């Protein structure tokens, strides 16, 4: 079930699980009274460059530590993981955000749609392979990129512009 031995660091214990075992592990952590992880604080996506991950942060009154569960090694071309909204209703927003920003599909999420980007947007902005048109290489002699230019306000008076140009 675990892809590697548990790791502890300060007040957080971390476990890594495969996609195939994610539902069973999460259900056990939530339902088993010995664990009792009834609070899901966060769900987020991660792009390692090689593969995708889903990271859950859980809390239980039965443990002094937070628990970080990493569902690891999701393929970049079709990242899918079971939804945990059947255990924690609040997971819906975190899953939607990870879908919107990373393209991770949460199977079983009843409302998996864009949360920040327009519905017809076709890319995923937090992936490492996300390309901005403005990222094209350029030589220093080509000047500032449009996004880097500082524009004077349209209501600026000549006096203000003269003072500002002396400060630059």
- From first to last of its 168 residues, what are the pLDDT tens digits of the chain? 778 888 999 999 999 999 999 999 999 999 999 999 999 999 999 999 999 999 999 999 999 999 999 999 999 999 999 999 999 999 999 999 999 999 999 999 999 999 999 998 888 999 988 876 655 555 555 555 555 445 555 666 676 656 655 555
38 φ/ψ angles, rounded to the nearest 5 degrees = -95, -5
Report pLDDT for 130: 83
Count the Cβ atoms, other than its own, within 10 Å of residue 88.
20
Across the beta sheet with 66-74, what order do the strands follow?
7-9, 12-17, 66-74, 52-59, 39-47
Instruction: Give the pLDDT score at 148.
Output: 45
Instruction: Look at residue 168 in the predicted model and tell me its pLDDT.
Output: 52
Domains of the chain: 7-137 (3.30.460.80)
Q: Which of 22, 19, 44 is nearest to 126 (CA)?
A: 44
**Beta bridge partners of residue 127, listed in sequence order:** none
Q: What is the pLDDT of residue 149?
A: 47
Give the length of the chain: 168
Query: What's residue 4's pLDDT?
Result: 82
């Amino acid at each position: 079930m675990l892809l590697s031995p548990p790791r502890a660091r300060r007040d957080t214990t971390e476990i890594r699980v495969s996609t195939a075992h994610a539902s069973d592990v999460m259900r056990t952590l939530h339902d088993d009274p010995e664990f009792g992880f009834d609070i899901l604080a966060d769900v987020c996506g991660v792009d390692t460059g090689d593969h995708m991950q889903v990271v859950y942060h859980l809390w239980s009154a039965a443990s002094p530590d937070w628990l970080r569960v990493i569902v690891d090694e999701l393929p970049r071309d079709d990242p899918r993981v079971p939804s945990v909204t059947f255990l924690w209703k609040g997971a819906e927003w975190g899953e939607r955000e990870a879908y919107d920003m990373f393209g991770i599909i949460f199977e079983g999420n009843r409302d998996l749609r864009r949360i920040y980007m327009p519905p017809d947007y076709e890319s995923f902005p937090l992936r490492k392979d996300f390309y901005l048109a403005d990222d094209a290489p350029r030589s220093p002699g080509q000047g500032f990129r449009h996004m880097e230019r500082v524009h004077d306000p349209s209501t600026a008076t000549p006096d203000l512009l003269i003072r500002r140009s002396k400060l630059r």
